[in-house]
Amino acid sequence: NAGVTQTPKFQVLKTGQSMTLQCAQDMNHEYMSWYRQDPGMGLRLIHYSVGAGITDQGEVPNGYNVSRSTTEDFPLRLLSAAPSQTSVYFCASSLMSSGRGETQYFGPGTRLLVL
């Protein structure tokens, strides 16, 4: 299994541009999520999904959209990039069948710089 994959690895955007961060997993996990990591702030949840067609907001959803049309893919869209969205973005996935004890597995991350 490839696990959780993310593309691109690095991206530079200008303020106001839009883009989509891709995330895919091949483990048939129901749960998928997006976090952003900023220095000294740990990881903060942006959006999550508990299955195809179901998404919900996390702690810091403003400026981001998600959709989940398949079990495998969970793209994150930046509608109009702002310098405050400069961060490292991580996608994660897990099973949900055993409840809260399931381990989340993380992708390698996308480093985004907004100028």
Partner 1 sequence: AQSVAQPEDQVNVAEGNPLTVKCTYSVSGNPYLFWYVQYPNRGLQFLLKYITGDNLVKGSYGFEAEFNKSQTSFHLKKPSALVSDSALYFCAVRPGGSQGNLIFGKGTKLSVKP
Residues near partner 1 (CB under 8 A): 4, 31, 33, 35, 40-45, 48, 50, 56, 58, 90, 92, 94, 96, 100-109
Q: By the 8 A CB rule, do 66 and 75 touch? A: yes
Residue 90: CB minimum distance to partner 1, A: 6
Task: Annotate 83-105 with b (16+ C-beta within 10 A) or e (fewer).
Answer: eebbbebbbbbbbeeeeeeeeeb
**Which of residues 17 and 102 has its CB atom nearest to partner 1 in the complex?**
102
Helix or strand (DSSP H, E) at 37: strand 31-37
In angstroms, what is the minimal distance from the CB of 77 to partner 1? Answer: 20
Measured between alpha carbons, how far apart are the two ends of the chain, in Å? 36
Nearer of residues 44 and 77 to partner 1, judged by Cβ: 44
Which tokens hold the place of 20? 């989509």
Kindly tell me which of 85 and 110 has the beta carbon lying closer to partner 1: 110
For partner 1, the closer CB: 13 or 46:
46
**Closest CB 25 distance from partner 1, rounded Å:** 13
